[in-house]
Amino acid sequence: MITYCSSCGSKTERRVVARQSLSVCPSCERIFFRNPKVVVTALIEDQGRVLLVLRDIEPGRGLWGLPGGYVDWDEHPEAALARECLEETGAVVEPENLVGVQHVVLGDEGIVILAYRARLTGGELEARDEVQEIGWFTPDALPPLAFTSHRRILQGWSKQVLARGAA
């Protein structure tokens, strides 16, 4: 619940708006909707392997995941993807296509996850911000993953890699 209005500073009150109990400012009538945060993840593949990061922050510290993170309020998701990959791994990437959209609830927050396939175009790969280690993994040797959402993305990727190998 939002306690004070960020527009005028008045104390908010709870009201039912569109069947939801939300914070509303009685002075300026601003409604504080509970919108989801947007996260991007990168599926970076090279020769049948995927690039993963060993997380150094919560949630999921000490577990592996796809590079990525939150989209800033003034940022296009593809720009956020490129920024997050560079910040975490030193990888310069070009987003190619959207491979999945998921909605998860983590605690009391809703999160929309946009998973992109991204092409590695340069950079010096190394563990950087919020990352303990980076590594390349094959579908049959994936490490313990931090998030179910990443597991779903990697399951789809694994099926494609294995199908290409069988062809």
What is the structure's pLDDT at 6?
Answer: 95
Gap between the Cα atoms of 37 and 74, Å rounded: 13
pLDDT beyond 90 at 101: yes
Closest listed residue to residue 98, CA positions, set 48, 58, 42: 42
Mean pLDDT of 29-46: 96
Q: Do 91 and 129 have their domain in common?
A: yes
Q: Do 67 and 149 have their domain in common?
A: yes
Q: What is the pTM of this model?
A: 0.88
What's the pLDDT band for 164 if we cut at 50, 70, 90?
confident
Strands (E), 47-140: 49-55, 64-65, 68-70, 91-106, 109-123, 131-137
Q: Do 45 and 104 have their domain in common?
A: yes
Q: Do 134 and 159 have their domain in common?
A: yes
What is the structure's pLDDT at 166?
Answer: 59
Residue span of the structural domain in which 76 resides: 37-166
Q: Do 79 and 133 have their domain in common?
A: yes
Q: Do 8 and 46 have their domain in common?
A: no
Q: Do 41 and 58 have their domain in common?
A: yes
pLDDT beyond 90 at 107: no
Structural domains in the chain (count): 2
Mean pLDDT of 58-64: 96
Pairing between β-strand 20-24 and β-strand 68-70 as defined by DSSP bridges: unpaired
Q: Do 126 and 145 have their domain in common?
A: yes
Q: Do 9 and 44 have their domain in common?
A: no
What is the structure's pLDDT at 167?
Answer: 56
Mean pLDDT of 3-14: 96
CA angle 105, 2, 80 (to 5 degrees): 50
pLDDT beyond 70 at 74: yes
Q: Do 50 and 96 have their domain in common?
A: yes
pLDDT beyond 70 at 76: yes
State the CATH number of the domain containing residue 91. 3.90.79.10
Q: Do 25 and 49 have their domain in common?
A: no
pLDDT beyond 80 at 29: yes
Q: Do 27 and 41 have their domain in common?
A: no
Mean pLDDT (the chain, rounded): 95
State the CATH number of the domain containing residue 20. 2.20.70
CA angle 52, 41, 106 (to 5 degrees): 105
pLDDT beyond 90 at 161: no
